[in-house]
Amino acid sequence: MEQTLKLFLKVFNKDAYIVGGALRDILLKRPLNDIDLAVPRSADLEKKLKSIAKKKSLAFFPLDKKEQTYRMILKKPFIVQIDISAIKGKN
């Protein structure tokens, strides 16, 4: 999982942010079952995410292409759902 998150940071030039309940779980040292990431909005976002999915053998599918929301599933060593959303607004 750590290597997958590092790849997100590399692909998005360190502009990938863990948000939501995953942040709480990390701080409380709970196991992660799902991770929500916020990344910069871009015309090639889906292409970037597909490249990550391919490199890490993750299942990948769009949840809402218009809003740029996607899901990846990591199956090994345990199942983890990764939801990725484009950052909305200017900040």
Q: How far apart are CA 50 and CA 75, in angstroms?
A: 16
User: Does the pLDDT at position 38 exceed 80?
Assistant: yes
For the segment 29-34, the average pLDDT, to the nearest whole number, is: 86
Radius of gyration of the chain (CA): 12
Which letter, b or e, does each residue of 21-41 get, where b requires 16 or more Cβ atoms within 10 Å of its Cβ? ebeebeeeeeebeebbbbbee
Q: How far apart are CA 4 and CA 58, in angstroms?
A: 10
User: Does the pLDDT at position 56 exceed 80?
Assistant: yes
pTM of the full predicted structure?
0.83
pLDDT at res. 89? 76
The angle subtended at Cα 43 by Cα 20 and Cα 5, nearest 5°, is 40
